[in-house]
Structure 1
Amino acid sequence: MAGTEGAPHVHRSASAAPTAPDERAVPGLDGIPRQRGPQPVAPRTYEASRADASPARRRPRLWRLLPTPAGTPFTFGYAAVLAVTSLLTQYADPSLIATLHQHSSTDVAHLTQEPVLVLVASALWIAGGIASPYAIGFLLVLTALERRIGALRTAGVFLLGHVVATLATEVPVGFSVLAGHLPDSSLHRLDYGISFGVAASVGALAGLFRPWLRCLVIAGFGGMLIDDLIAFTDPMTNWGHLLALSIGVATWPLVRRWRQSA
């Protein structure tokens, strides 16, 4: 046909097709589109990692050291009650507080008359006030224990140490009075506070730590209790603290099992 003779005949091959914008050829391999796939991710730099560790990200972990209504209801509610009784101790009439302490005391006389009432009432007061070491230990130790094993089990550990250590220190006093080795006034020895329960909770919590930290906690806290016993200012209470710590250590198989099921 006219106009077609002499015109070069061009064959278009597949390789001559226009390349898509995202299919650029790999250098050195003409005509082969770049393979699609996940793009390489640049390694994170030290500065980027430090940026992620900002105070806003660290704050939730710090707040986990303290009790919250949802996360640790037992510790939070109990701490609120102790705060009220501590404020009452500080601002109420001293004669009223002395009477309340006396009626809450777990001495032999009250234990023989109203054992359940005084065992509960004695744990509503902090000997030494809200700024005492046992008050601070209560917040930190019971919060950590409750986050690991739950509210009811934490309450059980605390109650076990409080009740058993109290009875173990007061019952011998009663027998000593009957035997004539102690005066009758020992039956009315003032005894109240949360220290036995806290000591048992420290012992239980240590069983959930790594071995090196567990040894450090037991040695540090136990050494403090032994130092108090050597001072011999209140030997019955000091023996009760050591016994409560031992009770907490004895619960290690239970608390470890509870943590796995929590």
Structure 2
Amino acid sequence: MHQRTDRAVRENPFAAPLLDAIPCQPGPAAPPPPPARRARRWLRLLPTPTGTPFTFGYLLVLVATSLFMEFADPATVAAALRESSTDVAHLGETPLLVLAASALWVVGGLTSPVVFVLALVLTALERRIGGWRTAAVFVLGHVVATLATEIPVGISVVAGHLPESSLHRLDYGISFGLMASVGALTGLFTPLVRTLVLGGLGVMLVIDLVDLSSPLTDWGHPLALLFGIACWPLLRRAGAVRRR
């Protein structure tokens, strides 16, 4: 077929445009992916011990502490939460201990939808940039947002603008680290999806700031989100290296 076509073009140069105008015969359509492959794609949204070791291990810790909150003696649970609180008094005495311990508890326990969101976000982030970088984003977001909200409280108490009781409050949870991870993950999205996610989060955070039912938490969430967004250049390079 190629020989006859080439000969026709050589003998009649006007045949080339005519041959180009003839539509090509479409090939067979690609078969849809088998159900097993589609199932594997959906399963990649969930953490696994080998694929996402940081997320999987951290979720196991949160399950254990949530079960402790549910079934342990209430007085013991209350004492453990008080000792894990990142208020100004504890940060002044044992900063490293309370910064680590406060991220081991989920407000509301396993029934909180935050646990499900955390699993999806950390899994997606760890599969793109690796476990160590994901842990760094979560931990640093938790630490930065906590210190950025608690240090002004201590300064205000010293200056006499707040009562001394403000140094002692119950403050624990994973929301700061989660918000930083969400901010970092949006940097790996397409522009449209990134705009939709950040727009929805922005509306939610503005509503919280208007209500200001929990001032430190309401200010800490946008700070943690901005920290995650600030990590975009580093995480994009890390994701490109990991793909190569």
TM-score class, shorter-chain normalisation, is 0.7 to 0.9
Distance in 1 (CA, whole Å) between partners of 2:201 and 2:114 is 11
Q: Which has the higher contact order (CA 8 A, sep 6+)?
A: 2
Determine if the alignment matches structure 1 residue 44 to structure 2 residue 44: no
The aligned counterpart of 1:161 is: 141
Deviation track 1:74-133 (CA, whole Å, cap 9, x = no partner) reads 000000000000111111111111100000000000000000000000000011222223
TM-score, L = length of structure 1: 0.80
Could you tell which deviates more after superposition, 84-93 or 162-171?
Answer: 84-93
User: How far off its partner does 1:41 sit?
Assistant: 10
Determine if the alignment matches structure 1 residue 199 to structure 2 residue 184: no
Determine if the alignment matches structure 1 residue 126 to structure 2 residue 106: yes
Determine if the alignment matches structure 1 residue 63 to structure 2 residue 43: yes
Determine if the alignment matches structure 1 residue 228 to structure 2 residue 213: no
Distance in 2 (CA, whole Å) between partners of 1:166 and 1:42 is 59
Distance in 1 (CA, whole Å) between partners of 2:134 and 2:122 is 7
Distance in 2 (CA, whole Å) between partners of 1:42 and 1:176 is 73
Q: Residue type of the partner of 2:37?
A: R
Distance in 1 (CA, whole Å) between partners of 2:167 and 2:111 is 29
- SS of the counterpart of 1:130? helix
The aligned counterpart of 2:6 is: none
The aligned counterpart of 2:129 is: 149
How well do the aligned residues superpose, as a CA RMSD in angstroms?
1.6
Question: Any stretches of 5+ residues in structure 2 without a counterpart?
Answer: 1-24
Determine if the alignment matches structure 1 residue 238 to structure 2 residue 218: yes
The aligned counterpart of 1:32 is: none
- SS of the counterpart of 2:47? coil
The aligned counterpart of 1:213 is: 193
Q: Residue type of the partner of 1:80?
A: L
The aligned counterpart of 1:29 is: none
Give the helix-richer structure, 1 or 2.
2
The aligned counterpart of 1:5 is: none
Could you tell which deviates more after superposition, 201-210 or 129-138?
Answer: 129-138
Identity of aligned residues (%): 61
TM-score, L = length of structure 2: 0.86
Distance in 1 (CA, whole Å) between partners of 2:235 and 2:94 is 31
Deviation track 1:151-204 (CA, whole Å, cap 9, x = no partner) reads 000000001100000000000000111111111111011110110000000000
- SS of the counterpart of 2:233? helix
**After the TM superposition, which segments of 4 or more aligned residues of structure 1 sit over 4 Å from their partners?**
none
Determine if the alignment matches structure 1 residue 171 to structure 2 residue 171: no
Q: Work out which of the residue numbers 82, 86, 90 in structure 2 matches 1:102.
A: 82
Distance in 1 (CA, whole Å) between partners of 2:40 and 2:158 is 56
| Aligned counterparts, 1:69-108, within 5 A | 69-108=49-88
Distance in 1 (CA, whole Å) between partners of 2:85 and 2:162 is 19
Distance in 2 (CA, whole Å) between partners of 1:42 and 1:211 is 34
The aligned counterpart of 1:248 is: 228
The aligned counterpart of 1:33 is: none
The alignment covers a number of residue pairs equal to 218
Distance in 2 (CA, whole Å) between partners of 1:64 and 1:244 is 26
User: How far off its partner does 1:252 sit?
Assistant: 0.5
